[in-house]
């Protein structure tokens, strides 16, 4: 790819981002767009129209994942994929996900204006429900494409009002059978997702883009400890079964295990610790806590969880308390594809953009797309690392930098 790509139509792209942001269940600039809500359906319609205007061929699967295809000269080859999501948690901003969708579209239009003719088709994807707001599970669309969430599990999903995924998606017009959502490996030849960093590092280091080498994945669980309550004065120390004291041991084991892997990328957190009955003069009889362990290396992450399991058995026996654990999720971390990273790096150099390789520390659709294609992600800065808030912000220049590198990368991968 020559270094002389026409400039990104930044003004048009920002206008589209702002227009999309107006399609919200909350008063703009607050963005609230829950999957299959009226706002989500209007937002999809808007983006689909933009894709049609760009001459892309639309299709959608049974859960609403939407594909806008720019046909290549060899249409039988697996396409190059790009894209992200346009659903938004309540009280969100306008850049998370949308930069990857509308920025991906602008990357395609930029290549079209340049007269580039892709050999492989390029497909822009809008994934259904990256955010867990409605069904309590993140990356619903990409999970189902990869078969990580089975159809049986999907059929059981309900929102807080008891509406099932089946009825909601059919009402939204996605009527195929859910079985057809799962696709096999090779659905895309390669997939690259543009996204805001949702952390402060690129802005702090004044870098234009981040090339994501790994996506760290959380493993999280509930741990419930049942001991014996009683009067804090009346019950003497020998023979006590204090559930909170037992919990304290586990929390410290988690911290020590996460610190002792020798890697900065291992992190372990207890974010919730509910104590029952929660009175000054009452021995805690029951504690419920969550653990969240993340790493870019699956076995290393699991070693922390194993250390915790060992501690659970020891504490249970020594203190005579009941301890039950329930895994909430444990998805594997993702390693980016070296060939896509090389294309991203060459494109950043061509475009004259500063960059570094970095780790993504939140979930993204790409985590699951890695089950059906080689993936990598491209990050742009966001102000103060703020995301999932109305004051989320990425400057037009930052966005244009990302789209520029993405366009050049797509051209390399589709040539
Ligand atoms: Zn996102």
Q: Could you read off the pLDDT of 333-345 as tens digits, one per residue?
A: 999 999 999 999 9
In angstroms, what is the span from residue 97 Cα to ligand 1's centroid? Answer: 4
In angstroms, what is the span from residue 85 Cα to ligand 1's centroid? Answer: 6
Neighbours of 389 (CB within 10 A): 13
Token pair for residue 176? 């195929």
Mean pLDDT across the chain, nearest whole number? 96
* CA-derived radius of gyration, the chain: 24
In angstroms, what is the span from residue 111 Cα to ligand 1's centroid? Answer: 25
Q: Is the pLDDT of residue 255 over 50?
A: yes
Q: Is the pLDDT of residue 28 over 90?
A: no
In angstroms, what is the span from residue 297 Cα to ligand 1's centroid? Answer: 22
In angstroms, what is the span from residue 179 Cα to ligand 1's centroid? Answer: 25
In angstroms, what is the span from residue 251 Cα to ligand 1's centroid? Answer: 30
In angstroms, what is the span from residue 285 Cα to ligand 1's centroid? Answer: 40
Q: Which residue has the tokens 């991968």?
A: 413
Beta-carbon contacts of 299 under 8 Å, excluding residues fewer than 6 positions away, are none
Of the pLDDT bands very low, low, confident and very high (cuts 50, 70, 90), residue 6 is low
Instruction: Please choose, from the candidates 139, 155, 174, 210, the residue with its C-alpha nearest in 3D space to the C-alpha of residue 371.
Output: 139
In angstroms, what is the span from residue 173 Cα to ligand 1's centroid? Answer: 24
Give dist(CA 391, CA 98) in Å, integer: 15
In angstroms, what is the span from residue 363 Cα to ligand 1's centroid? Answer: 8
Q: What are phi and psi of 187, to 5 degrees?
A: -55, -40
In angstroms, what is the span from residue 217 Cα to ligand 1's centroid? Answer: 14
Q: Which residue has the tokens 């994945």?
A: 217
Task: Tell me whether residue 27 is exposed, middle or buried, using C-beta atoms within 10 angstroms of its C-beta: 0 to 12, 13 to 18, 19 or more.
Answer: exposed
Task: Determine which of 41-45, 135-139, 356-360 has the lowest per-residue pLDDT on average.
Answer: 135-139
pLDDT of residue 4: 59
Beta-carbon contacts of 267 under 8 Å, excluding residues fewer than 6 positions away, are 258, 293, 294, 295
In angstroms, what is the span from residue 245 Cα to ligand 1's centroid? Answer: 38
Token pair for residue 181? 């959502």
pLDDT of residue 2: 46
pLDDT of residue 362: 84
Core vs surface per residue 202-236: b (16+ CB within 10 A) or e = bbeeebbbbbbbbbbbbbbbebbbbbbbeeeeebe
In angstroms, what is the span from residue 140 Cα to ligand 1's centroid? Answer: 13
Give dist(CA 359, CA 333) in Å, integer: 11
Q: Is the pLDDT of residue 3 over 80?
A: no
Token pair for residue 119? 């050999």
Residue 49, CB-side half-sphere exposure with 13 Å CA sphere? 9
28 or 186, which is more confident? 186
Structure confidence by residue, pLDDT tens digits, 136-153? 889 999 999 999 999 999
Tell me whether strands 286-295 and 267-269 are parallel, antiparallel or unpaired. antiparallel
**Paired strand residues for 224:** 288, 324
Task: Tell me whether residue 25 is exposed, middle or buried, using C-beta atoms within 10 angstroms of its C-beta: 0 to 12, 13 to 18, 19 or more.
Answer: middle
In angstroms, what is the span from residue 317 Cα to ligand 1's centroid? Answer: 43
In angstroms, what is the span from residue 379 Cα to ligand 1's centroid? Answer: 11
pLDDT of residue 410: 98
In angstroms, what is the span from residue 195 Cα to ligand 1's centroid? Answer: 7
In angstroms, what is the span from residue 386 Cα to ligand 1's centroid? Answer: 13
| DSSP code string of 338-349 | HHHHHHHHHHHH
* % residues pLDDT > 90 (the chain): 94
In angstroms, what is the span from residue 364 Cα to ligand 1's centroid? Answer: 6
In angstroms, what is the span from residue 91 Cα to ligand 1's centroid? Answer: 14
pLDDT of residue 75: 97
Structure confidence by residue, pLDDT tens digits, 364-384? 999 999 999 999 999 999 999
For the CA atoms of 17, 19, 22, 23, the dihedral, rounded to the nearest 10 degrees, stands at -90
Residue 281, CB-side half-sphere exposure with 13 Å CA sphere? 3
């Amino acid at each position: 790819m020559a270094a002389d790509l026409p400039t990104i139509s930044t003004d048009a792209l920002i206008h589209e981002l702002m227009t999309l942001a107006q399609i919200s269940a909350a008063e703009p600039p607050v963005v609230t767009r829950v999957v299959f809500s009226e706002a989500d359906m209007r937002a999809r319609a808007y983006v689909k129209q933009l894709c049609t205007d760009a001459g892309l061929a639309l299709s959608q699967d049974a859960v609403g994942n939407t594909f806008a295809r720019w046909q290549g000269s060899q249409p039988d080859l697996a396409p190059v994929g790009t894209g992200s999501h346009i659903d938004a948690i309540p009280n969100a901003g306008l850049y998370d996900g949308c930069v990857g969708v509308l920025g991906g579209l602008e990357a395609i239009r930029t290549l079209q204006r340049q007269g580039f003719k892709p050999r492989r088709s390029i497909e822009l994807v809008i994934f259904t429900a990256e955010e867990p707001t409605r069904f309590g599970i993140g990356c619903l669309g990409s999970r189902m494409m990869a078969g990580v969430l089975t159809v049986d599990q999907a059929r059981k999903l309900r929102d807080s009002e008891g509406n099932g995924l089946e009825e909601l998606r059919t009402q939204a017009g996605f009527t195929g059978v859910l079985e057809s959502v799962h696709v096999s490996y090779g659905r895309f030849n390669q997939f690259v997702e543009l996204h805001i960093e949702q952390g402060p590092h690129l802005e702090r280091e004044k870098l234009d883009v981040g090339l994501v080498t790994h996506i760290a994945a959380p493993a999280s669980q509930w741990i419930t400890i049942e001991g014996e309550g009683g009067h804090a004065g009346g019950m003497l120390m020998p023979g006590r079964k204090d559930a909170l004291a037992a919990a304290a041991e586990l929390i410290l084991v988690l911290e020590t295990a996460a610190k002792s892997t020798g890697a900065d990328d291992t992190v372990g957190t207890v974010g919730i610790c509910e104590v029952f009955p929660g009175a000054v003069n009452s021995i805690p009889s029951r504690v419920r806590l969550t653990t969240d362990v993340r790493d870019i290396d699956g076995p290393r992450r699991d070693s922390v969880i194993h250390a915790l399991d060992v501690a659970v058995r020891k504490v249970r026996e020594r203190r005579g308390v009941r301890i039950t654990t329930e895994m909430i999720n444990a998805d594997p971390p993702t390693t980016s594809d070296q060939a896509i990273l090389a294309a991203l790096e060459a494109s950043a150099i061509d475009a004259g953009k500063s960059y570094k390789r970095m780790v993504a520390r939140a979930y993204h659709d790409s985590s699951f797309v890695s089950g059906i294609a080689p993936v990598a992600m491209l990050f742009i800065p966001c102000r103060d690392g703020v995301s999932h808030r109305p004051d989320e912000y990425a400057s037009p220049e930052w966005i244009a930098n990302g789209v520029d590198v993405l366009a050049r990368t797509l051209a390399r991968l589709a040539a």
